[in-house]
Amino acid sequence: MERLGSERLTGALLDRLTHRVHILETNGQSYRLQDANGRLKRK
């Protein structure tokens, strides 16, 4: 988990980024993945 110089700093940053957020889980394929697969097929 050490990405920003220290594990403690990384944990603190993630804590602040995820404070009071709503995590939505959706079923199905993402539009970005679908678009990327379509572009690969056209090549």
Residue 1 has pLDDT above 80, yes or no: no
Decide if 1 is inside a domain. Answer: no
Residue 2 has pLDDT above 70, yes or no: no
Model pTM above 0.95 = no
Decide if 2 is inside a domain. Answer: no
Decide if 25 is inside a domain. Answer: yes
Q: What is the tens place of the pLDDT at every residue in 13-35?
A: 989 999 999 888 888 878 899 89
- Residue 7 tokens read as 């594990």
Decide if 15 is inside a domain. Answer: yes
**pLDDT category, 3, cuts 50, 70, 90?**
low
Query: Whole domain around residue 25: which residue ranges?
Result: 7-42
Distance in angstroms (rounded) separating the CA atoms of residues 10 and 40:
35
Distance in angstroms (rounded) separating the CA atoms of residues 35 and 43:
13
Q: How many domains does the chain have?
A: 1
